[in-house]
Amino acid sequence: MTSTPRPDSDTTPKGPSAPIADPAHTPAYAELEQRHARLYRFEHLGSIVGWDQAANMPPKGNEARAAAMAELDGLLHSQRTDPALTALLSRAEQEPLDDWQRANLREMRRDWRASNALPARLVERRTLATARCEHAWRAQRPANDWAGFVENFRPVLQVAREEAQHLADATGLSPYDALMDRYEPGMTSAEVGRVFGDLKTWLPGLIRDVQARQAAEPPVLQPQGPFDRRVQKALSLDVMARLGFDFEGGRLDESTHPFSGGVPEDVRLTTRYQDDDLQQALMGTVHETGHARYEQNLPRRWLGQPIARARSYGIHESQSLSFEMQLGAHPGFVAQMAPLLVQHFGDQPAFAPDNLARLVTRVQPGLIRVDADEVTYPAHVILRFEIEQALIEGGLAVEDIPALWDEKMAAYLGQDTRGNHRDGAMQDVHWPSGAFGYFPCYTLGAMFAAQWFAAMRRATPELDARIAAGDFVPVFDWLRQNIWQQASRWETPELALRASGEALNPAHYRAHLTQRYLPG
């Protein structure tokens, strides 16, 4: 049984967003809505331009593209820091607004505070520096060219440190917390450190126990390639359809680093293919489809307003990991995918459902974060969190990153990365693009995803049986009602409380990993 989005009144597109407030009764708030709708349209253009830069743009177009994007970012910043907004926000606070409008106003004020903390020239410098660094990184990473990367990365780090200090001065947060607050509002490095500190007490033992258990089992059969990339894409599209992706509102392309971009009305996903590895593109596509379903199901009548944005990047990652790990690695889901693999690539022993289920849950420490299994993945995130916090606040120099990376990779995952910058500190796009403070969101998202599925099982005790039967509707309905349609109406702890009955509780994550990998 396949699952598709229900064409209900909340998720069916209705054309461009429009101001919702009545100017006669709430004139200041109505003007703020109009201004944010205008910003949203400019951001729409910027999102598509950014996607094109990663997926289609020829190499010689980068300098001109970077200049154009910096110009657009400068324009957006000038609109966000218009002095008239100060009075409009104050007057709107006194107007008769409903609960949704008040939440929207809260998000407007948050956007205003963050924008006013940063000088316009710094915003433009950031766009130029990250565009140049990310573009050069695409060639430097395959060449293991750390020295060349450092020259482009140094200006990115300098801008990030300046941003962090400006935001810290405006918010009273520490510099790193001020950067992290852009991705995970309200979260602090102290709380992340506490959660990750607890993880570090039991995760190494879990990894050892799972590896020992799996070593005693029969070997996992590896799918035999090569796998034609055109056929891999056809398979990816079929799986996206099974997961309810709306192809009239989005598309799948290829890029150096998989990502989800665009806007809710036009979601752009990318993945990457390897001729000898079927799993990477397939599971990467499932992951990005989780991001896409969230975007495609945000409340349409509020699009263009801050309240209609995804709540946070941790919540966003909880959607991609709900799809990739909670659902995608579920034996019932894997059994539904097995016939698709046979259909596209022909039958082979590795495509037996039991073997595939063991393949996608195989625990093996490795070098690459995006290819990591569910159990070792948090160690990759902890490593990056600790390094980037030191880069922003601890005075860690760019030149010292490889040695610290090698030390932590050996300690946390038993891997040797000495001299291997390509599979070490250069492997991710986040630092070249200036996304300091993002990495904790991945593991926070995994924790939220485990918590969501615990709540789903309480609401639908037969959930696992329905997944095994190919019925994913209970998953999608729960996420739509509790996460997707709520958007940014609630701050994160309140969203989690309303959805699952409690704020973030990492115990669900540990229970999930233990039950899946050490049953009985």
Mean pLDDT of 213-237: 96
Q: Round to the nearest angstrom and report the end-to-end CA distance of the chain.
A: 31
Q: Where are the beta strands (DSSP E) in 28-131?
A: none
Mean pLDDT of 109-121: 96
What is the reported pLDDT for 6?
Answer: 30
Is residue 287 part of an annotated ligand binding site? yes
- Distance, CA of 336 to chain centre: 26
Mark whether 288 is an active-site residue: yes
Q: Where exactly are the structural domains of the chain?
A: 27-183
Angle between helices 507-517 and 189-215 (to 10 degrees): 10
Mean pLDDT of 115-139: 95
Find the catalytic residue in 124, 134, 288, 388.
288
User: By CB neighbour count within 10 A (0-12 exposed, 13-18 middle, 19+ buried), where does 56 fall?
Assistant: exposed
Structure confidence at residue 21 as a pLDDT band (50, 70, 90): confident
Which amino acid makes up residue 168?
A
Mean pLDDT of 167-189: 97
Q: What are phi and psi of 409, to 5 degrees?
A: -65, -40
Q: Could you tell me the two tokens for 211?
A: 């590896």
Structure confidence at residue 10 as a pLDDT band (50, 70, 90): very low
Structure confidence at residue 258 as a pLDDT band (50, 70, 90): confident
Q: Where are the beta strands (DSSP E) in 259-411?
A: 260-263, 266-271
What is the reported pLDDT for 255?
Answer: 87
Mean pLDDT of 33-60: 94
Predicted confidence (pLDDT) per residue in 171-181, tens digit: 999 999 999 99
Q: What are phi and psi of 476, to 5 degrees?
A: -65, -40
- Whether residue 3 is predicted with pLDDT greater than 90 in this model: the reply is no
Q: How far apart are CA 201 and CA 205, in angstroms?
A: 8
Angle between helices 377-393 and 189-215 (to 10 degrees): 150
- Whether residue 43 is predicted with pLDDT greater than 90 in this model: the reply is yes
Q: What are phi and psi of 435, to 5 degrees?
A: -90, 60
DSSP class of residue 250? E
The CA-based angle 220-223-228, given to 5 degrees, is 165
What is the reported pLDDT for 11?
Answer: 37
Q: If you average pLDDT over every residue of the chain, what do you get?
A: 94
What is the reported pLDDT for 22?
Answer: 81
125 contact partners, CB below 8 Å, separation of at least 6? 155, 159
What is the reported pLDDT for 394?
Answer: 82
Predicted confidence (pLDDT) per residue in 288-338, tens digit: 999 999 999 999 999 999 999 999 999 999 999 999 999 999 999 999 999
Residue ranges in 414-439 assigned as alpha helix (H): none
Q: How far apart are CA 435 and CA 503, in angstroms?
A: 26
Q: How far apart are CA 271 and CA 351, in angstroms?
A: 22
Is residue 291 part of an annotated ligand binding site? yes
The CA-based angle 447-180-291, given to 5 degrees, is 50
Residue the block writes with tokens 């400068």? 74
Structure confidence at residue 236 as a pLDDT band (50, 70, 90): very high
| Chain length of the chain | 520
- Which strands form 250-254's sheet, in the order they lie side by side? 250-254, 266-271, 260-263
Is residue 191 part of an annotated ligand binding site? no
What is the reported pLDDT for 19?
Answer: 57
Q: How far apart are CA 111 and CA 167, in angstroms?
A: 12
43 contact partners, CB below 8 Å, separation of at least 6? 76, 263
pTM beyond 0.75: the answer is yes
Q: Is the alpha carbon torsion for 383, 384, 389, 395 positive or negative?
A: positive
Structure confidence at residue 271 as a pLDDT band (50, 70, 90): very high
